[in-house]
Chains A and B, each alone.
Chain A
Amino acid sequence: MPVARVKDIAMTTATLTETALPKLSNDEISRYSRHLILPEVGMEGQQKLKAAKVLCVGTGGLGAPLALYLAAAGVGTLGLVDFDTVDASNLQRQIIHSTATVGKLKVDSAEIMLKGLNPTVNVVKHNTMLTSANALEIFKDYDVIADGTDNFQTRYLVNDACVLSGHKPNAYGSIFRFEGQASVFATEEGPCYRCLYPEPPPPGLVPSCAEGGVLGILPGLVGVIQATEVIKLILGIGDTLVGRLLLVDALSMQFRTLKLRKNPDCPACGTHPTITALIDYDQFCGIEKPTAVGPLEVASNKAVADAPIVDGIPQISVEALKRKLDAHEDFFLLDVREPHEVPIANLGAPLIPVGELEKRIAELAPQRGREIVIHCRSGARSQKAALILKNAGFPHVENLAGGILAWADRIDPTMPKY
């Protein structure tokens, strides 16, 4: 199947005549000189960039380099969607933020650096989570959408909203540890995200960057690939990734391209689409809605005498654990993190990584009659481990709510948090 040419893609800016494109000031001409002297860009191309309106969904790992390079290139209007605030752990990769902006809203923080780089860019901040209720309204003012989000629900939402908004191109990028993917979805002739992935994976199968880790440079690599595609779409040059999936493996430094086809039976963009409105994406992805106060929130925010129970596993607070340790109570503390986490911070507990627990369960046989308290970094893996032991018939298993992070927070402030 021939790759859809960029020229075939209906772009608002492409339909404007040269006289309707915004003029460039002398300062802008100097600023963009290296673009202007490229035959593929020239005055007209730079004017198209100035006329363009691009929405960056997410100003994190992918959004950071993406927005910076689009601002550098002179995209006239940059919309930013993000509800989050800057955290120090973001600075390992989210280069649009800085130590000085830790604690600020990400959209405010991003604006500072974007305006510093290029004051002529119109930065539009959408300090909100993108939802089915607001996506179509937000998207309508933009020509191209760049998806830099970090969860499956929003990716399906962005895709569907792009298709339903008259096939606005979605410059897609995603990352996991050392690997990335990039493509352009939702154009009229090309495939959409659902053509490639009709269904999301079950929750918990693919960890997020916070749970699985990510090499800091990786979103830099993939985010700039997305920015490149956005610019090509606006200028109408080159061969975009419509109909192709670019796979990046940073460890082996290999790039591969796979063919993507538009699925005629696709529920979103096929010949007989069944998706005619945005749906409940949490439900689609099998994610439980966050509740205002759930048992784990209670346990990690307050010391609770009576441990609440989650999926049949009693949750124990770090205060209760400290009391048990100080009183030399008879119980077994088990660490289920990975070996490389132990030198960072530990409670001196024996280690069996959660992924090996089923294989190594015999090692815990001597502890079967004892109370076993399990901990990990934040309380999620240890809960999984507790369920494994419970299902293997261990009668008395508890999960340390909030994990070693809660311990560092409330019991031992000298312990590093990671």
Chain B
Amino acid sequence: MNIHIPTPLRAYTGGEPTVSVPGATVGEALEQLTGAYPALRQHLYTGDGKLRSFVNIYLNDDDIRYLPAKDATPAKESDELTIIPSIAGGD
């Protein structure tokens, strides 16, 4: 499935805005992503493996925090994952 990488994190995926990864669940897809781009891991996860709270992961248009299975939620090939980081620019 496709994972949409937000601009601030594209520096760690070699500039790629979308990365295609296999994975039966959201968690597996994210593992594949950080496996392929290890520099991304520290920006997405804390030292003890939890998703950082200024980063939100959406499965299609649902925030995974509010899905019953969270990152164990199964995902189809046609699903889209989006990483939404905090941005603050306004000037």
Contacts and interface: CB of A to CB of B under 8 A. Distances in A.
Given A199-B54, A205-B8, A205-B43, A176 B87 contact: yes
B31 interface: no
Contacts of A149: 88, 90-91
B16 interface: no
B89 A208 contact: yes
Given A61-B91, A205-B8, A261-B66, A200 B86 contact: yes
Nearest to A197: B86
A58 interface: yes
Nearest to A214: B89
Contacts of A210: 91
A160 to B, nearest CB: 15
Given A179-B7, A258-B58, A174 B90 contact: yes
A149 B7 CA distance: 19
A259 B63 contact: yes
Nearest to A172: B90
A261 B66 CA distance: 8
A1 B56 CA distance: 19
- Overall SS of chain A's interface: mixed
Interface stretch (A25-33, A150-158, A271-279): A150-158
Interface residues of B, number: 23
B85 A150 contact: no
A147 B8 contact: no
A197 B53 contact: yes
Interface in B54-68: 54, 56, 58, 61-63, 66
B10 to A, nearest CB: 10
Contact of A209 (B6, B63, B89): B89
Contacts of B88: 149-152, 155, 174, 176, 206, 208
A139 interface: no
A181 interface: yes
Given A199-B53, A205-B8, A245-B84, A174 B89 contact: yes
A210 B91 CA distance: 8
A219 interface: yes
A201 interface: yes
A260 interface: yes
Contact of B62 (A58, A173, A259): A259
Interface string B2-32: 0000111001000000000000000000000
B52 interface: yes
Contact of B87 (A90, A174, A199): A174
Contacts of B87: 174-176, 179, 181, 206
B89 A201 contact: no
A367 B59 CA distance: 49
A148 interface: yes
Contacts of B90: 58, 60-63, 147-150, 173-175, 209, 219
A303 B66 CA distance: 56
A134 B42 CA distance: 36
A260 B62 CA distance: 8
A170 B80 CA distance: 29
A206 B61 contact: no
Contacts of A219: 90-91
B63 A261 contact: yes
B35 to A, nearest CB: 19
Interface string B44-81: 00000000111010100111001000000000000000
A300 B85 CA distance: 34
Interface string A80-106: 000000000010001000000000000
A84 B23 CA distance: 49
A385 to B, nearest CB: 15
A152 B62 CA distance: 24
A209 B61 contact: no
A355 B10 CA distance: 12
A328 B52 CA distance: 50
A413 to B, nearest CB: 27
A227 to B, nearest CB: 14
Nearest to A174: B87
A247 B86 CA distance: 12
A243 to B, nearest CB: 11
A325 interface: no
Given A90-B91, A179-B6, A200-B86, 16 more contacts: A60-B91, A62-B91, A149-B91, A150-B88, A155-B88, A174-B87, A176-B7, A176-B88, A178-B7, A197-B54, A200-B54, A206-B85, A219-B91, A258-B58, A259-B61, A355-B11
Interface of A: 58, 60-63, 90, 94, 147-152, 155, 173-179, 181, 196-201, 205-210, 212, 214, 219, 245, 247, 256-261, 355
